Chains A and B, each alone.
Chain A
Amino acid sequence: MFEPTPQVDLSSGKYLKLWQGPQHPGITGNMALELTTMGDEIVDCKTHVGYLHRGFEKLMERRTFIQNFPIVCRIAVPEPTFNEYLYAAVVEELTGIESPERAEWIRTLNLELMRLASYLMWLGGIGAAFGQGTVYQWTVTHRDYILDLFEEMTGARVYHMYIVPGGVRGRLPEGFEERCNDVLNRVEKLLFDVEKVLFNNFVFKKRTKGLGVIAPEMVDQYGITGPNQRAAGFVRDLRRDAPYLVYDQLEFDVITATESDAYARSWVRYQEMHQGIRMLRQCLERTPREGPFQARMPNVLHWEVPAGETYVKAECTRGEYGYYMVTDGSEYVRRVHVRGPSYTHAIALMEKLAVGTNIADTAGLMVSLHTYPPEIER
């Protein structure tokens, strides 16, 4: 299973050691690749992380349960909402608090909006990695439209701090549905443009097809989840297999592919964006306008969570995102472990797939795996 590092003799003059990063075009955040190349072909790849390590899991052990709520969003910068939701869900499970229906709808709306924003950023990334800078500019602009929506809903563009244990922090603003629908229409229109410009682009096709193929048997060996897994033909999606929030009430398709290369993965994500828009439209229509959006909470200043442990997971853009929490009945958590898909996608998987590719493709390959370093380092 574990591939030993090939024995290369650097003094032979045949090889070159090459460092890429930690400012790396293949990733949102910082991470370095230590490549050993022969010509422009990579014969060995080692990843180096830690540039964004802030010790969140440790910090959380030393803060009260409510104080952790504004911290967790930072564990995945482009996609903070999944952390907010999972932290809330794990605490709710251990305390027996049930967030009301209205909050569950608003949370779903948030998560799907976040997915769309995160995918837009990724779409720009995959375009840029293959020389399509224009796509990047379009998608980042459209992501900003979504951030505008987040700003009016949550009070912040990136670190929303909106999904809180017990529910959400406020009702949807007046007229939100209309503005959100408008943004969805604009994004949808853009997506069709991107399809023409990127997915139907022979350069893009040529460079991504056959790049970084994940064989089906690797999926479980490497713990691969999300679109990376679905592009390898697996019909697995936590929103369908272990529905949380209101996903069991939404209509959507689980997108898969079989080629399992960079193109297939991108195409899966692209279609998931359309599915996301579809789900968002349902959320906008069906989110209750009345009723409580927060469960009755104890005084959070000295909130003691009963002793226990659990694991709660959700399907984020990159795959299985999960919070494992152990409590001991005190006002502080004993242990939180955040399971982010990038942990294996960016390290074990990347180190394996990079071998045999060439230098120019590393960034594109990495983007095609869609990874975020902070969730590796926590």
Chain B
Amino acid sequence: MSLKDLISPFYVWQRAFEKPYTQKRPIEDRPGAPRYRGFHMNSEDCIGCGTCESICQNRAIDMVPVEGLEQRPGDSGLRPRFDYGRCCWCALCVDICTTRSLHLSNHYAWVTEDPDAFHFTAGTDPMPWNENSLGYRRDDDYHLLVHDRIEMEMLGPDESVRGFDEVMKGYTEEQAVLEADRCVECGICVATCPAHMSVPDYIRSVRKRDYETGLRLLYETNPFSSTCGRICTHRCETVCVMGYQGDPIAIRFLKRAIVDRVPAERYREILGDDVSDNGRTVGVIGAGPGGMSAAYYLRRLGYGVTVYEAQARAGGMLRYGVPSYRLPDDQLDKDIDYIRSLGVEVRFNTLVGRDVTFQSLLDTHDAVFLAVGLNQPSALRINGEEHPRVLSGLKVLDDVANGLDPGIGRKVAVIGGGNVAMDAARVSRRMGAEVTVLYRRRIEDMPADPDEIHESQAEGCTLVAQAIPVEIKPAASEAQVTIVWGEAEMVADDKGGRPRPVLQEDRMHEETYDCVIAAIGQGGQIDFIPSDYREQIEFKWNKFVPGDYQQTGLAKLFVGGDIANSRADAISAIEDGHHAARGIHRFLGGSADA
């Protein structure tokens, strides 16, 4: 033992003068670090997708309805309720939160005598830390989800304008799996899809590369899946929670990813559609998506179905409106042929009202479903519009679909901002014309799909927004026409509606074109229904207002599609058809399980 070993330990006394580290809790407050993972907070941005609940490995979260909070499309109305008997403050729920509404505060000490107080709904229950501004938040550069959509290969604009080849190439299998992988399977979109398709489930089947299950899921609600996988208005994507921090899932294209991988010959076997006749028949007017969807579900229930169609081919506006570079004919055929293969009879070139009476349908069938769509172009309601060089968008598209030359010339003005206008414009570009689109409001107000607007511009169409047509005048040449239009200012609506365009009379323009294509909307034609019947049916603005299960005041008559809904898209028509099939089945004494 050295002397040093004896003395050295006495060095300790020096430390007696050090400042102690002891914290005087609770006399003094010691706030948690700015990143501290303390108690939960939830902001108003929460839409109740429940992703926090799915990631919580402690099952500390329940999704519960909150009083005074209404569910609406895109918001389940549920909010996360935390059980602090289980939570470990890992903050995975914060990391995964799709809207970034969930945070942890840096508040970490809270004393109460009521153990149930530690079971609370963050954000809506009045917790002492609700105003806290510090605490754990997900770092901007740290992600547990994939926010960017997988790009799909498409024809470049130079190539696409040269013909009617399909522009979107579809996902490869690998791409589809990656895109499907992004889905958090919250199911918020299901309420928004007009047909309430099992979106998360079929996306999962893409991820699992199980296309048979996928096809079965699609056909539960939609027998036009090949079609909708291409041209659906994809309302679901507008509420997709992945859209809050990045791109919504390409739900529409994932539908296509399934049907693209199942050959038509295998449908029957995969879907297992055995049809046994139940001895009753239903007449369907119109072989558009509405009529054919009803026909499919009715046929599956065993009804004999006869579809009366004025045209020579089935598909309605999908056939004669939607151009083939968006929806190739063979893809539409894939859907329709399968429905027909189940024994649905389609009588082509049969216009109800001319070739067969409405009354005779009521007499021969146990029920009638009507989905005649809207095929009457709306008038521009300006002077001179009866000029022969003013064409309707529908007519132009119809001619092109039928292989006829619509005779549009080389310089074209399209009036309108919806999908019909975009289709007419892009078709005109493909026929070699120089195209100007005139639209009353701003570009962001255009009802057309943003992709369509974007692609039409890429293909060389000139979009002129806030342009109000005022008059059509004959031009010097008979093969031409002159349009007078004025610039518009957007004026806020005092009633809280969307801003109105107001014509600026001092800023008028005049331009001559080879033709003007009007595409500002269309109406229906139902004169074939005898007037005493029509009195029993409710209408609004020339459209049917159906009751429950698409039934009308004329009990045997069910209606759907563009002529009976305000959304006027394929998927709504399909859902109307399906819903009416359920309704007809109930009406005829079957159960609702259709």
Do any beta carbons of A and B sit within 8 angstroms of each other in the complex?
Answer: yes
Instruction: A66-B92, A196-B11 given; name 6 further pairs at CB < 8 Å.
Output: A69-B90, A156-B36, A167-B142, A169-B142, A200-B8, A298-B146
Interface string of B31-50 (1 = CB under 8 A from A): 01111110000000000000
| Inter-subunit contact A67/B57 (CB<8 Å) | yes
- List, in ascending order, chain A residues with CB within 8 A of B6's CB: 202
Q: Report if A368 contacts B (CB, 8 A).
A: no
Chain B CB within 8 A of A221 CB: no
Contact code string B1-45 (vs A, CB < 8 Å = 1, else 0): 110111011011011000001000000000011111100000000
The one of B89, B141, B182 that contacts A171, using a Cβ cutoff of 8 Å: B141
**Chain B residues with CB below 8 A from A210, complex form:** none
B88 touches A300 (CB 8 A): no
Cβ of B526 to closest chain A Cβ, rounded Å:
49
B4 near A152 (CB under 8 angstroms)? no
B35: A residues at CB distance < 8 A: 151-155, 170, 173
- A111-147 residues with Cβ-Cβ distance < 8 A to B are 134, 138, 141, 144-145
30 residue pairs A–B, Cβ–Cβ below 8 Å: A64-B57, A66-B55, A66-B92, A66-B144, A67-B57, A69-B90, A69-B92, A134-B12, A134-B15, A151-B33, A151-B35, A152-B33, A161-B37, A173-B35, A193-B11, A200-B5, A201-B5, A201-B9, A202-B1, A294-B141, A297-B143, A299-B146, A299-B181, A299-B183, A299-B184, A300-B55, A301-B55, A301-B144, A301-B145, A302-B207
Is A63's CB within 8 Å of the partner chain B? yes
In the bound assembly, the distance between CA atoms of A69 and B8 in angstroms comes to 46
What's the Cα separation between A301 and B181 when bound, in Å? 9
| Given contact pairs A299-B184, A301-B51, A202 touches B32 in the complex (Cβ within 8 A) | no
Contacts of A148 in B (CB 8 A): 33
Q: Chain A residues near B34: list those with CB within 8 A.
A: 152, 173
Interface range on chain A (Cβ under 8 Å from partner): 35 or more
Decide if A301 touches B185 in the complex (CB within 8 Å): yes
Interface size of B by Cβ–Cβ distance < 8 Å?
45
Is B8 within 8 A of A293, CB to CB? no
Smallest CB-CB separation from A68: which chain B residue? B57
Q: In the complex where A155-B36, A161-B90, A173-B34 touch, is A70 in contact with B141 (Cβ < 8 A)?
A: no
Q: How far is the CA of A215 from the CA of B188 in the complex (A)?
A: 66
Residue contact A170 to B184, C-beta cutoff 8 Å: no
Contact A294 B143 (CB under 8 A): yes
The 5 closest A-B pairs by CB, nearest first: A70-B90, A67-B57, A202-B5, A200-B8, A170-B139
Q: What chain B residues lie within 8 Å of A323 (beta carbons)?
A: none
Q: How far is the CA of A203 from the CA of B207 in the complex (A)?
A: 68
Asked whether any CB of chain A lies closer than 8 Å to the CB of B397, the reply is no
CA distance A169 to B139 in the complex (A): 7
Least distance between A96 CB and chain B CB atoms (Å): 15
How many angstroms from the CA of A303 to the CA of B104 in the assembled complex? 25
| Contact surface of A with B, Cβ cutoff 8 Å | 63-64, 66-71, 134, 138, 141, 144-145, 148, 151-156, 159, 161, 167, 169-171, 173, 193, 196-198, 200-203, 205-206, 292-294, 296-302
Asked whether any CB of chain A lies closer than 8 Å to the CB of B344, the reply is no
B261 to chain A, nearest CB (A): 20
What residue in chain B is nearest A165 (Cβ atoms)? B144
Contact pattern, B 128-149, Cβ under 8 Å of A = 1, otherwise 0: 0000000010010111111000
Q: In the complex, what residues of A have CB within 8 A of residue B1's CB?
A: 202, 205-206
B contact residues around A193 at 8 Å (CB): 11, 14-15
In Å, the complex CA distance between A169 and B96 comes to 12
The contact of A297 among B4, B88, B144, by CB within 8 Å, is: B144
B54 at the interface (CB under 8 A from A): yes
Listed residue (B8, B142, B145) with the most chain A CB atoms within 10 angstroms of its CB: B142
Per-position binary interface string of chain B over residues 41-82, scored 1 when its CB falls under 8 Å from any chain A CB and 0 otherwise: 000000000010011010000000000000000000000000
In the complex, A302 Cα to B200 Cα: how many Å?
A: 13
- Give the CA-CA distance A317 to B88 in the complex, in Å: 26
Q: Give Cα A200 to B4, complex, Å.
A: 7
Cα separation A302 to B15 with both chains bound (whole Å): 55
Give the shortest distance, in Å, between B223 (CB) and chain A (any CB). Answer: 29
Q: Which of B146-181 contact A (CB under 8 A)?
A: 146, 181
Considering the complex, give the chain B residue whose CB is closest to the CB of A195.
Answer: B8
Q: How far is the CA of A201 from the CA of B14 in the complex (A)?
A: 17
Contact partners of B90 in chain A: CB under 8 A: 69-70, 159, 161
CB distance from B107 to the nearest CB of A (A): 13
**Chain B residue at minimal CB-CB distance from A102:** B141
CB-CB under 8 A from A301, the residues of chain B are 51, 54-55, 96, 144-145, 184-185
What mask results when residues 179 to 197 of chain B are scored 1 for a CB within 8 Å of chain A, else 0?
A: 0011111000000000000
A292 to chain B: which residues have CB within 8 Å? 141
Min CB distance B300 to A, Å, is 32
A299 touches B5 (CB 8 A): no
Counting chain A CB atoms within 10 Å of each CB, the highest count among B9, B32, B184 belongs to B9
Cβ A144 vs Cβ B21 within 8 A: yes
Is B91 engaged at the interface, CB distance under 8 Å to the other chain? yes
Do the beta carbons of A138 and B15 come within 8 Å of each other?
yes
Contacts of A170 in B (CB 8 A): 35, 139, 142
Q: A197-B8, A197-B9 are in contact. Are A156 and B143 (CB under 8 A)?
A: no
A299 to B51, CA, bound (A): 12
Write out the residue numbers on chain A whose beta carbons fall within 8 Å of the beta carbon of B11.
193, 196-197
A299 touches B91 (CB 8 A): no
Alpha-carbon gap, A127 to B90, bound state (A): 34
Whether B33 contacts A299 by the Cβ 8 Å rule is: no
Residues on B with C-beta less than 8 A from A144 are 21
- Chain A residues with CB below 8 A from B181, complex form: 298-299, 302
Please, which residue of chain A has its CB at the minimum distance from the CB of B35? A155
Given contacts A202-B6, A292-B141, A298-B181, contact A161 B146 (CB under 8 A): no
Do B33 and A155 have beta carbons less than 8 Å apart? yes
The answer to whether B9 and A200 have CB atoms under 8 Å apart is: yes
Taking CB atoms, residues of chain B closer than 8 Å to A64 are: 57
Which residue of the partner chain B has the closest CB to A60?
B57
Given contacts A141-B21, A193-B11, contact A155 B91 (CB under 8 A): yes
Q: How far is the CA of A156 from the CA of B37 in the complex (A)?
A: 6
B32 surroundings in chain A (CB, below 8 A): 151
Asked if A155 and B136 make an inter-chain contact with CB atoms under 8 angstroms apart, the answer reads yes
A70 with B88: CB separation less than 8 A: yes
Residue of B nearest to A202 (CB): B5
Given contacts A66-B55, A196-B11, contact A161 B141 (CB under 8 A): no
Query: Which of A70, A197, A201, A299 has the largest count of B CB atoms less than 10 A from its CB?
Result: A299
Contact with A along B80-104 (1 / 0, CB 8 A): 0000000011111001100000001
Q: In the bound complex, what is the Cα–Cα distance between A11 and B9 (angstroms)?
A: 46
Closest chain B CB from A12 CB (angstroms)? 39
A116, chain B: closest CB distance, angstroms: 17
In the complex the two chains form, what is the Cα distance from A66 to B145 in whole Å? Answer: 12
Give the complex CA separation of A201 and B136 in angstroms. 46
User: How long is the Cα–Cα vector from A154 to B90 in the complex, in angstroms?
Assistant: 11
CB atoms of B57 and A71 under 8 A apart: yes
In Å, the complex CA distance between A202 and B9 comes to: 9
Given A155-B35, A205-B5, are A70 and B12 also a contact pair (CB < 8 Å)?
A: no
In the complex the two chains form, is A196's CB within 8 Å of B143's CB? Answer: no
Residues from chain A with Cβ under 8 Å of B55 in the complex: 66-67, 300-301
Contacts of A196 in B (CB 8 A): 8-9, 11
Structural contact, A293 and B145, CB atoms closer than 8 A = no
Q: Which residue on chain A has the smallest CB distance to residue B145?
A: A299
* Alpha-carbon distance A196/B4, docked complex (angstroms): 9
Q: Which of B4, B104, B144 has the most CB of A within 10 A?
A: B144
Residues of the B chain whose Cβ atoms lie less than 8 Å from the Cβ of A302: 181, 185, 204, 207
A155: chain B residues within 8 A (beta carbon): 33, 35-37, 91, 104, 136
Q: Which residue of A lies closest to B37 (CB)?
A: A155
Query: Given A134-B12, A151-B36, A201-B5, is A297 in contact with B146 using a C-beta cutoff of 8 Å?
Result: yes
B91 x A161 contact (CB < 8 A): yes
Most buried by A among B5, B96, B104: B5
